[in-house]
Amino acid sequence: MDEKEFTSHFNDEAIACFEFGESPRISTYLYCFIAGPYVCMESDRDEIKNFKVPLRIMSRKSIAKYAEKAKEEYFNVTKSGIQFYEEFFTREYPFAKLD
């Protein structure tokens, strides 16, 4: 669909449109689409920062102080889970990141 045809559905108003590339298959129960004022957190520890899969956590801004306190535990559990399942299923984690 070209731009003219696309914007015709919106009374020819200029709009922002994003097209994302195809992603690997994922179970529908693992998918979530959310919006709002969020903050992104990364680990302070090198073993997590240098893990083969970049790990981040998103938190609503209103509860960020609580997420900040628990983030390292989240990163430990997530890293351990990835390592366990890779070994159990003899298959690499299929995504480029986890956030």
Inform me whether the pLDDT recorded for 86 exceeds 70: yes
Neighbours of 42 (CB within 10 A): 14
pLDDT digits (tens, 9 = 90+) for 21-76: 887 777 777 777 777 788 999 999 999 999 999 999 999 999 999 999 999 999 99
99 located within any domain: no
98 located within any domain: no
60 located within any domain: yes
End-to-end CA, the chain: 31
Indicate the pLDDT class of residue 94, thresholds 50, 70 and 90: confident
DSSP one-letter code for 98? B
Structure tokens at 99: 């956030």
Question: Which one has a higher pLDDT value, 92 or 34?
Answer: 92
Q: Which residue has the tokens 């889970």?
A: 81
Domain count, the chain: 1
Distance CA 86, CA 23 (A): 20
22 located within any domain: yes
Look at residue 89 in the predicted model and tell me its pLDDT: 94
DSSP one-letter code for 28? G
- Residue numbers of the domain that contains 57: 3-89
70 located within any domain: yes
